[in-house]
């Protein structure tokens, strides 16, 4: 009687084990080459002014929320770029990070790199 109650569970576990053993790993994603990384960086930086202006309109008195809104848009654009070019999102974001670091190393401070303090939000 006890064996009959547990047999469906044992069968399902055995099927899952066979499936796990016989399955193949998904193919490795295509990685972004140097040209693709430069394109990801230039596209992201090219949209910065417009995204920051949109953030300033959305949160006129709150610099921290403006920055948060901007970076959410930046992440969304990185995901869209990665999907369009069939590369991992991490490659698109890494390209942005590397480009910004290289820009700073050259003394170019055209992209914002500070974090405003978080204060209580004004009532809109």
Instruction: Determine contact, residues 56/79, Cβ cutoff 8 Å.
Output: no
Q: How far is CA 49 from the centre of its chain?
A: 20
The pTM of this model reads 0.71
Residue 29's pLDDT is what?
A: 79
Instruction: Give me 112's structure tokens.
Output: 């914002």
Question: Minimal CA–CA distance to 39: which of 90, 99, 79, 103?
Answer: 99
pLDDT in tens, the chain (124 residues): 677 788 899 999 999 999 999 999 888 878 999 999 999 999 999 999 999 999 999 999 888 899 999 999 999 999 999 999 999 999 999 999 999 999 888 888 777 667 777 777 666 5
Residue for token digits 């991490």?
Answer: 90
Domain extents for the chain?
30-105
- CB-based contacts of 104, cutoff 8 Å, min separation 6: 113
Residue 121's pLDDT is what?
A: 67
Question: Minimal CA–CA distance to 99: which of 37, 46, 30, 36?
Answer: 37
Tell me the C-alpha to C-alpha distance, in Å, between residue 59 and each of 10, 47, 121, 124: 57, 18, 9, 9
């Amino acid at each position: 009687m006890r064996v009959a109650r547990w047999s469906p569970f044992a069968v399902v576990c055995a099927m899952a084990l066979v499936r796990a053993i016989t399955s193949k790993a998904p193919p490795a994603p295509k990685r972004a080459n140097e040209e693709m990384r430069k394109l990801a960086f230039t596209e992201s930086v090219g949209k910065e002014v417009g995204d920051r202006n949109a953030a300033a309109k959305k949160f006129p008195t709150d610099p921290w929320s403006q920055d948060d809104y901007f970076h959410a848009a930046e992440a969304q654009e990185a995901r869209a770029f990665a999907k369009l070019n069939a590369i991992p999102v991490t490659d698109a974001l890494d390209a942005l990070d590397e480009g910004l670091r290289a820009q700073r190393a050259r003394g170019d401070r055209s992209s914002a790199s500070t974090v405003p303090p978080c204060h209580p939000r004004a009532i809109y």
